[in-house]
């Protein structure tokens, strides 16, 4: 073999070696990029434009102190995370099964599935940016007699939703009154960190508490729930054909002061008040048939809890399965007794910020 031939072979081997090294480096970089994207894509999706034209920025907030305004805007940003997690419902997983009644999907038919998809999409769009053609929403901290709800035992509404203008105007201006009960709730970030802390203790009882949705009541959930009560978001949830072909199509979601009431049978007078995870799960077991028996399809509480459960499943890595259907019923969100609480919750300020002083 001549020296010239040897040099050509060595050069070829060097080129082949460099090609392999470049390929390995490219593969490693691609893998690292993929891991980075997989770990951050959902978080980026949820935070993009949240504070650019979010509801907390474009809504008119008045009669609230500076501290209350700050908490309201934080809750709206956190509620955006919930609504983006649920923007495209995943009917194949447990949150949709237990809170939306997705097992009845064949009964709903394609029509109601499209309507429900539009509800979740509109809710996410509404909290991110102004809806074209809709009046600017107003948010206030004024006193409202509807903050204290006689239908709920020992429970006050965190937020009251009103529509200003004509009764049948789906694009009427939205008025959200933030009640004192709202400011008693913790933030979404606080309850998620508490759940992670409980899981880190490695105790079976801690895990039970960490995966109990009752432990995650928070201000962001209150805002998400209120948004699902707006006509703008739920206007598509109507029954196209009235029972027996008589009368006009009817809406499936009730407004204040009859909100969160769902009739369990046509013209039976039997109503279910749905305000917590247990009652929402029980409702999702019912088969929706029409506007008088809408089941989970007529319950903003179910919509909001689905968003919360979906978000927590992604954040905690597992589905928060409790409370179980057969557990004891509660009229509101319950908290475990001291004897049942093995993991100590993180401290949270429970002070209600002062209302702004009225001008003389």
Q: Per-residue confidence of the chain (360 residues) as pLDDT tens digits?
A: 555 555 555 545 544 444 344 344 333 433 333 333 233 333 333 433 333 357 878 889 999 999 999 999 999 999 999 999 999 999 988 999 999 999 988 887 787 889 899 999 999 999 988 888 788 899 999 887 778 766 555 567 899 999 987 777 888 889 999 999 999 999 999 999 988 888 887 776 667 778 889 889 999 999 999 999 999 998 888 765 545 555 566 778 888 777 787 766 555 556 778 888 988 998 898 887 765 677 888 899 999 999 999 999 999 988 888 887 655 555 455 554 443 455 655 444 444 455 445 443
pLDDT at position 37 is 28
Q: Which two tokens stand for residue 170?
A: 């789906």
Compute the distance between CA of residue 172 and CA of residue 178 in angstroms, rounded to an integer. 19
In a domain, 224, yes or no: yes
In a domain, 11, yes or no: no
Q: Count the domains in the chain.
A: 1
Q: Residue 224: which residues within 8 A CB-CB, separation 6 or more?
A: 79, 82, 83, 123, 303, 304, 307, 308
DSSP 66: H
Output b/e per residue, 308-342; b: 16+ Cβ within 10 A.
bbbbbbebbeebbebbeeeeeeeebbbeeeeeeee
Q: How many CB atoms lie within 10 A of CB 132?
A: 5
Contact (Cβ atoms closer than 8 angstroms) between residue 69 and residue 183: no
* Residues spanned by the domain of 311: 51-130+182-340
pLDDT at position 34 is 30
In a domain, 171, yes or no: no
In a domain, 157, yes or no: no
Compute the distance between CA of residue 298 and CA of residue 68 in angstroms, rounded to an integer. 31
Scan for tokens 């400011």, then name that residue.
183
pLDDT at position 43 is 37
Compute the distance between CA of residue 252 and CA of residue 290 in angstroms, rounded to an integer. 8
In a domain, 317, yes or no: yes
Compute the distance between CA of residue 59 and CA of residue 129 in angstroms, rounded to an integer. 10
In a domain, 138, yes or no: no
In a domain, 346, yes or no: no
In a domain, 147, yes or no: no
pLDDT at position 311 is 96
Report the SS3 class of residue 60.
strand
């Amino acid at each position: 073999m001549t020296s010239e031939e040897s040099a050509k072979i060595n050069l070829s081997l060097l080129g082949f070696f460099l090609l392999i090294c470049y390929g390995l480096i490219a593969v490693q970089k691609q893998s690292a990029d993929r891991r980075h994207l997989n770990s951050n894509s959902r978080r980026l999706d949820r935070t993009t434009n949240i504070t650019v034209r979010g509801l907390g920025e474009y809504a008119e907030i008045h009669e609230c102190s500076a501290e209350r305004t700050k908490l309201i805007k934080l809750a709206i940003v956190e509620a955006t995370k919930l609504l983006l997690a649920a923007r495209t419902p995943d009917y194949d997983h447990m949150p949709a099964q237990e809170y939306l009644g997705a097992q009845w999907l064949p009964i709903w038919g394609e029509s109601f599935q499209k309507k429900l998809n539009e509800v979740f999409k509109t809710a996410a769009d509404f909290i991110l940016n102004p809806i074209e053609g809709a009046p600017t929403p107003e948010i206030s901290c004024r006193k409202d007699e509807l903050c204290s709800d006689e239908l709920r035992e020992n429970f006050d509404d965190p937020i009251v939703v009103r529509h200003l203008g004509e009764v049948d105007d789906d694009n009427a201006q939205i008025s959200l009154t933030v009640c004192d009960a709202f400011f008693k709730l913790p933030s979404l970030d606080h309850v998620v960190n508490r759940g992670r802390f409980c899981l880190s203790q490695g105790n079976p009882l801690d895990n039970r508490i960490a995966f109990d949705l009752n432990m995650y009541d928070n201000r962001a959930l209150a805002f998400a729930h209120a948004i699902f009560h707006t006509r703008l978001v739920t206007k598509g949830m109507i029954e196209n054909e009235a029972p027996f072909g008589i009368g006009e199509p009817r809406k499936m979601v009730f407004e204040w002061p009859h909100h969160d009431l769902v009739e369990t049978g046509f013209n039976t007078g039997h109503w279910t008040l749905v305000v917590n995870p247990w009652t929402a799960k029980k409702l999702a077991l019912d088969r929706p048939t029409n506007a008088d028996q809408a089941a989970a399809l007529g319950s903003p509480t179910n919509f909001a809890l689905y968003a919360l459960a979906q978000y927590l499943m992604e954040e905690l890595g597992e589905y928060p399965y409790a409370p179980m259907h057969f557990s004891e019923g509660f009229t509101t969100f319950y908290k475990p007794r001291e004897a049942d609480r093995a993991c100590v919750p993180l401290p949270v300020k429970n002070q209600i910020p002062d209302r702004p002083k009225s001008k003389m």
